[in-house]
């Protein structure tokens, strides 16, 4: 018999070899029907994989990220089987899950091509195969046997992947007539997959390297119920309308250039204005909370990141080290700002009276993302974090953590981001090698976060294994207007970097003490935050944030001078205004500027010029009547103040 510990810490005994599915059946028939995967001591397994030792488990359904990932992983294999049916001899690269489904990179036989028109027949075949309820079977073979198998199949893509694996057993998964190299986990059988939609086709270089062959990447999504797919397709259409890349182009916020490089956004004047508004707002909030602005370079000596541990953690995903003409010098584009801030703290001695010290920076960092993973502003290679690092004494930790929560609340309330979940992300107790630092310090850091959230009355969920490699954190998972969840703000407690950088302060006892470090980024990254905000608001930003708050529309060129007078007055009143003096009818001007999502349209003609007034229209609400310039300026300033009431209070 073995002991199985459930998430509520209750313990049940089962015979050795029990599976996750059998455990679910012993709990309830409904759970057994819904469960998709199981984690065993922190590792996600197939439901049919035998458990032969005492273990802590968690059962995952469609409502869990791990459940969806298992479902979509199996769906990628099902799609590959359907593609192989129509295109025998296809070679298969990788088929991972993504945020909304899965994809598979395939190398079609010579002379064959997949188009959007072919997707319908592949979908139909997938449903046919799924209904056959083929068991998805895991097996293990040696590396040599795996190489022989895929050599016989003439699939050099799999051969390349296998050749890079360590010697030992390699896992395969088989369903029906399809076998694939895979770690898993997978569904018990194909019948779980009830609804299929293949969404798009794209080209992708093998392993993201432009020197390699271009493969065909097929994207898809599947569901356990047709109703869920129908709802998803409605959501997809609305998401297309809100796509930040589409709206960003329409509003002239940002662009990309192949000459500059993939994943490196160029901010246009209006987008820059938007970013500056966000930055200025956060700087004002930070000043209220005692932060000091700092600036650090975009590169650093590689030894800096080895000291911090970022080189070991992110080295493979970073831009390769930069060698200078001088022998022995190696630099990196910085993947994180925190090591630089540690060195700023270390630049002079500190007393316990100096703490807490709060350094803030809008610091640009760089990570290498494969070209196929890049997506507008949400996945880029260079991004700016609204980063801050607080250095405090142990007796200050909880209060400082709670103050950072207050900052997050101010930002979310001022931007209408009211639907969020606070997630306490802790280490995986069964996988300690993922983390740096002592267990004692991890215990202290995790306890501080849990206690601070409780004292703030914050409702939280706890996720094991989601901590950063150097410390636990509080993540804010924000739902947008379409119900999609995005991880935005984050607060992390870190005992480890102060140790690695030998940071210290002199205590009241005249002895040397180690400060505790808090990492904090309410926006996360400016690029990703702006993308989420665009899609959440459909480009209709709060008045205080929008790049152009007002456009003045003269009825004819005779009133251009008066329009200029109105615009100048508003600009001098800290209201962002522009003029549309095109030789177009007023109806066309109104339509065009509403499409640009400008909140207020001011129409001026003979009557307005004579009386010194303006005729006001509000985006989405129509005519708001006539006002003087002074009345309108006060009206707008009151609206802005109301939107920013969380800050002013």
The domain that contains 12 carries what CATH number? 3.10.20.30
Mean pLDDT for the chain? 92
The whole-number pLDDT of residue 483 equals 84
Query: Pick from 477, 511, 537: which residue ends a domain?
Result: 537
Residue 8: pLDDT band (50, 70, 90) is: confident
- Does residue 633 sit in helix, strand or coil? helix
Both structure tokens of 129 = 């195969």
Same domain, 278 and 310: no
Query: Is the pLDDT at 540 greater than 90, yes or no?
Result: yes
Query: Is the pLDDT at 167 greater than 90, yes or no?
Result: no
d(CA 229, CA 236): 10
Same domain, 11 and 75: no
Both structure tokens of 606 = 């003979």
Q: Is residue 258 part of a domain?
A: no
Same domain, 305 and 291: no
What is the CA angle 205-208-209, rounded to 5? 80
Please report, for the domain that includes residue 442, its CATH number: 3.30.930.10
Same domain, 378 and 411: yes
Cβ-based neighbours of 608, under 8 Å, separated by 6 or more = 559, 562, 614, 615, 626
Tell me if 597 sits within 8 A of 568, measured CB to CB. no
Confirm whether residue 519 is marked as ligand binding: yes
The whole-number pLDDT of residue 264 equals 95
Query: Pick from 61, 80, 103: which residue ends a domain?
Result: 61
Residue 318: pLDDT band (50, 70, 90) is: confident
pLDDT above 90: percentage of residues in the chain: 71
Tell me if 377 sits within 8 A of 531, measured CB to CB. yes
For residue 209, report the phi and psi dihedrals to the nearest 5 degrees: -105, 120
pLDDT tens for 77-124 read 999 999 999 999 999 998 899 888 999 999 999 888 898 999 999 999
Please report, for the domain that includes residue 184, its CATH number: 3.30.980.10
d(CA 34, CA 210): 42
d(CA 163, CA 174): 21
Residue 178: pLDDT band (50, 70, 90) is: very high
Same domain, 304 and 423: no
Q: Is residue 247 part of a domain?
A: no
> Which element (helix H / strand E) includes 193?
none
Distance of CA 235 to the CA centre of its chain: 19
Both structure tokens of 604 = 């001026």
pLDDT tens for 249-283 read 999 999 999 999 999 999 999 999 999 999 999 99
Same domain, 417 and 397: yes
Query: Pick from 242, 258, 284: which residue ends a domain?
Result: 242
Confirm whether residue 134 is marked as ligand binding: no
In b/e form, how buried is each residue of 564-579, taking b as 16+ CB within 10 angstroms? ebbbebbeeeebbbbb
Q: How many CA atoms lie within 13 A of 495 on its CB side?
A: 19
Catalytic residues: 338, 367, 385, 387, 389, 473, 519
The DSSP code sequence of 306-327 is HHHTHHHHHGGGSPPPEEPSST
Tell me if 43 sits within 8 A of 58, measured CB to CB. no
Same domain, 502 and 644: no
Average of per-residue pLDDT across 34-59? 93
- Dihedral sign from CA coordinates of 580, 584, 587, 591: negative
The whole-number pLDDT of residue 287 equals 95
Same domain, 350 and 229: no
Tell me if 49 sits within 8 A of 19, measured CB to CB. yes
Count structural domains, the chain: 5
Same domain, 76 and 175: yes
Ranges 319-328, 332-341, 349-358: which has the least confidence: 319-328
Q: Is residue 252 part of a domain?
A: no
Average of per-residue pLDDT across 443-453? 89
The whole-number pLDDT of residue 418 equals 85
Confirm whether residue 342 is marked as ligand binding: no
d(CA 365, CA 386): 11
Same domain, 232 and 311: no
d(CA 190, CA 170): 22
Both structure tokens of 599 = 């909140």
Rg (CA), the chain: 28
| Domain region containing 488 | 266-295+337-537
Query: Is the pLDDT at 580 greater than 90, yes or no?
Result: yes
């Amino acid at each position: 018999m073995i002991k199985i510990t459930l998430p509520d810490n209750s313990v049940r005994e089962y015979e050795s070899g029990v599976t996750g599915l059998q455990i679910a059946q012993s709990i309830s028939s409904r759970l057994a029907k819904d469960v998709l995967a199981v984690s065993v001591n922190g590792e996600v397994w197939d439901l049919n994989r035998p458990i032969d030792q005492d273990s802590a488990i968690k059962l995952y359904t469609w409502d869990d990220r791990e459940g969806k990932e298992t479902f979509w992983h199996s769906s990628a294999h099902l799609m590959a089987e359907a593609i192989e049916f129509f295109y025998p001899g296809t070679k298969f690269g990788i088929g991972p899950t993504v945020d909304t489904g899965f994809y598979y990179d395939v190398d079609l036989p010579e002379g064959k091509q997949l188009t959007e028109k072919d997707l319908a027949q592949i979908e139909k075949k997938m449903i046919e195969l799924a209904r056959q309820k083929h068991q998805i079977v895991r097996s293990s073979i040696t590396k040599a046997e795996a190489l022989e198998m895929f050599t016989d199949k003439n699939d050099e893509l799999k051969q390349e992947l296998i050749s890079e694996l360590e010697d030992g057993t390699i896992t395969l998964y088989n369903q029906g007539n399809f076998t694939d190299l895979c770690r898993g986990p997978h569904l018990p059988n194909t019948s779980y997959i009830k609804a299929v939609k293949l969404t798009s086709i794209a080209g992708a270089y093998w392993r993201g390297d432009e020197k390699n062959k271009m493969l065909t990447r097929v994207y898809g999504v599947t569901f356990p119920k047709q109703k869920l797919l129908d709802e998803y397709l409605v959501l997809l259409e609305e998401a297309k309308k809100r796509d930040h890349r589409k709206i960003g182009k329409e509003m002239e916020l940002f662009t990309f250039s192949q000459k500059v490089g993939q994943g490196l956004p160029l901010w246009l004047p209006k987008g820059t204005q938007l970013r500056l508004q966000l930055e200025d707002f956060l700087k004002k909030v930070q000043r209220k909370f005692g932060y000091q602005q700092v600036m650090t370079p975009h590169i650093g000596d590689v030894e800096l990141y080895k000291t911090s541990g970022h080189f070991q953690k992110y080295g493979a995903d970073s831009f390769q080290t930069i060698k200078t003409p001088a022998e022995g010098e190696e630099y990196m584009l910085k993947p994180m700002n925190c090591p630089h801030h540690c060195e700023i703290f270390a630049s002079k001695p500190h007393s316990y009276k100096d703490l807490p010290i709060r350094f803030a920076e809008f610091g640009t960092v760089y990570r290498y993302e494969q070209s196929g993973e890049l997506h507008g502003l949400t996945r880029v290679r260079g991004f700016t974090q609204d980063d801050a690092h607080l250095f405090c004494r142990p007796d200050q930790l909880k209060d400082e953590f709670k103050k950072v929560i207050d900052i997050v609340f101010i930002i979310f309330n001022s931007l209408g981001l009211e639907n969020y979940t606070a997630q306490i992300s802790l280490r995986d107790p069964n996988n300690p090698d993922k983390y740096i630092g002592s267990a004692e310090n991890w215990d202290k850091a995790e306890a501080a976060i849990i206690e601070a959230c409780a004292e703030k009355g914050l409702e939280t969920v706890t996720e094991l294994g989601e901590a950063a490699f150097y410390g636990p954190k509080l993540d804010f998972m924000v739902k947008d207007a379409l119900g999609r969840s995005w991880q935005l703000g984050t607060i992390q407690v870190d005992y480890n970097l102060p140790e690695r950088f030998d940071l210290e302060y002199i205590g009241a006892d005249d002895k040397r003490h180690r400060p505790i470090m808090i990492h904090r980024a309410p926006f996360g990254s400016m690029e990703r935050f702006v993308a989420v905000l665009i899609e959440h608001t459909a480009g209709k930003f709060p008045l205080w944030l929008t790049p152009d708050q007002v456009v003045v529309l003269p009825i004819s060129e005779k009133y251009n001078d008066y329009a200029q007078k109105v615009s100048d007055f508003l600009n001098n009143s800290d209201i962002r205004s522009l003029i549309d003096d095109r030789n177009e009818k007023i109806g066309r001007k109104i339509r065009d500027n509403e499409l640009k999502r400008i909140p207020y349209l001011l129409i001026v003609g003979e009557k307005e010029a004579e009386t010194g007034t303006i005729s006001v229209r509000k985006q989405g609400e129509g005519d708001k009547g006539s006002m003087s310039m002074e009345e309108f300026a006060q009206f707008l300033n009151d609206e802005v103040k109301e939107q920013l009431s969380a800050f002013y209070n």
